[in-house]
Every structure is written in C-alpha cells, then in structure tokens.
C-alpha cells in the first residue's frame, strides 16, 4: 500500500493519508459493493481536502514577493 511504498515518491502527509484511505475505499468496492455510495462520497471528500490545501498553498506562495523583485508602490 501507500504506507509501505518503496518507490521514491515524495508526498505531503495529507496526500499520503488521502491516497491510503482512497486505496482502502477502492479495495472495498472491488471486493464488495461498488454501488455503495458512501465509498464514492468519501473518495471525493478525501481528494477535495488535499486539493483545497494545495490550492491554498499555491495561493500563499504566489502572494509572496520574490527576492530582488520588490513591488512598486
């Protein structure tokens, strides 16, 4: 699983956790009832949490002034 992945994949903790639980949900669907809506809802929710955090991080990074490029007033 994602927790024991030996590949050189660098994930933020929330990405790693989201992929772990998404993988669990997919496994449950493949081995059980793929029409159980809660699994689909949960996958969307976990992915959305990571997406929101990444968007916030990108917005914060974009708002920083690069060294040597001070804003003109």
Angle at 16 between CA 13 and CA 18, to 5 degrees: 105
pLDDT tens digit string along 13-55?
999 999 999 999 999 999 999 999 999 999 999 999 999 999 9
* Side-chain half-sphere CA neighbours of 6 within 13 A: 0
What is the torsion angle, in degrees rounded to the nearest 10, for the CA atoms of residue 38, residue 23, residue 49 and residue 12?
A: 170
pLDDT tens digit string along 15-26?
999 999 999 999
The SS3 call for residue 18 is: helix
pLDDT value at residue 64? 82
- On the question of pLDDT at 65 being above 60, the answer is no
pLDDT value at residue 5? 61
Q: How confident is the model at residue 9 (pLDDT cuts 50, 70, 90)?
A: confident
């Amino acid at each position: 699983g994602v927790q024991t992945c030996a590949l050189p994949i660098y994930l933020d903790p929330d990405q790693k956790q989201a992929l772990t639980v998404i993988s669990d949900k997919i496994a449950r669907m493949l081995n059980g009832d793929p029409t159980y809506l809660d699994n689909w809802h949960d996958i969307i929710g976990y992915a959305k949490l990571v997406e929101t955090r990444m968007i916030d991080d990108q917005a914060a990074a974009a708002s920083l002034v690069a060294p040597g490029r001070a804003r003109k007033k």
